Amino acid sequence: MASEVPFWRAAALSLLLLAAALIAWELAVMPRAGGGAALDPEYAALLGQAAAQGGTTPMPGPAAIGARLLELLSDPFYVRGTNDQGIGVQIAYSLLRVGAGFGLAALVAIPLGFLIGMSPLLNAALNPFIQVLRPVSPLAWMPLALYTIKDSAVSSIFVIFICSVWPMLLNTAFGVASVRREWLNVARTLEAGTWKTATRVILPAAAPTILTGMRISIGIAWLVIVAAEMLVGGTGIGYWVWNQWNNLSIADIVIAILMIGVVGLALDRLLGLVAHAVAWRE
């Protein structure tokens, strides 16, 4: 157990490391004097800015990225045609898909996990299927989803569903199966019915374990949505990253990485708050 570290010391060190990293980055990408050899001005005009800078797209420095970030965040929700939408709109599309897939998965996994956790027979019968399906990369389902569903938007939701269902299913089953026998005995001696026992005893007892599964699931779902949207295209932060790669907008890609990280953190913290609310200790 690490001893308690004062908050301000950790924060100061964090800021120091960030500043050092940003300065090093800025220095590393500074244009070298005389690096751009003399280029035929007409050729440069023909090829545009990229060629004028020596034929490669320069890696943007933190300052350039910061400026671009401010620009993107100043109007995050604009929509100017299908291929030109604000970053906020793209993130909202991704969140919507994750929310739909994750929500459907919770609706299936938590009740099913309950049944599996309560019935050793069902647990033993379903375990082989779960063990085989669980390690499959969710993206491997994508072609099958596209073929059967024939709708790319629904297919990406399905992929999110399939990747978030397993951790929730296994954790719910485990949490339900390990509810203390004495609590169940209390419920039995009180003649609490099945429904009351499930909702007032088993669910609260298993809630912390279920929430752990949900946190794992939302993390995986947020990882997978970027890849799924790169494949499916159209909208979403994953598509936007790929689109900016095609545009060679390196600054936008860096910003997307940052945004994906921040949103993922927010999702985890959100479920962390719920987990804290249902946590109990003895």
Partner 1 sequence: MNATAASPPRAVDAEAQAGRPAARARHAYVSVEGIARRYGATTIFEDVWFGIERGEFVCLVGHSGCGKTTILNILAGLEGPTEGAVIVDGAEITGPSLDRAVIFQGHALMPWMTATGNVAFALSCRHRGWSRAQCEAAAREALKRVGLGHALDRRPAELSGGMKQRVGIARALALEPKMMLMDEPFSALDALTRGSLQDEVSRLVTETRQTAFMITHDVDEAILLADRILLMSNGPGARIAEVVVNTLPRPRTRANLHHMPGYHALRDHVLDFLISRSAAFDAAAPPAGWAPRAVPEVRPAIESPPPPLAAE
Binding positions for partner 1, rule: CB under 8 A: 182-183, 185-186, 188-192, 196, 200-201, 204-205, 207, 278, 280-282
Determine the 3-state secondary structure of 85 from DSSP.
strand
Q: How far is the CB of 181 from partner 1 (least distance, A)?
A: 10
Nearer to partner 1, 96 or 205 (CB): 205
Nearer to partner 1, 107 or 190 (CB): 190
Nearer to partner 1, 139 or 205 (CB): 205
DSSP code, position 180: -
Interatomic CA distance for residues 84 and 75, integer angstroms: 12
Q: How far is the CB of 281 from partner 1 (least distance, A)?
A: 5
Q: How far is the CB of 277 from partner 1 (least distance, A)?
A: 11
Q: How far apart are the first and last CA of the chain?
A: 21
Contact 58, 248 (CB under 8 A): no
Nearer to partner 1, 4 or 282 (CB): 282
Q: How far is the CB of 260 from partner 1 (least distance, A)?
A: 35
Q: How far is the CB of 103 from partner 1 (least distance, A)?
A: 25
Interatomic CA distance for residues 180 and 206, integer angstroms: 10
DSSP code, position 198: I
Interatomic CA distance for residues 79 and 236, integer angstroms: 13
Nearer to partner 1, 92 or 184 (CB): 184
Determine the 3-state secondary structure of 30 from DSSP.
coil
Q: How far is the CB of 195 from partner 1 (least distance, A)?
A: 12
Q: Could you tell me which of 260, 263, 163, 179 has the C-alpha nearest to residue 213?
A: 163
Count of other CB atoms within 10 angstroms of residue 103: 14
Nearer to partner 1, 42 or 182 (CB): 182
Interatomic CA distance for residues 91 and 116, integer angstroms: 35
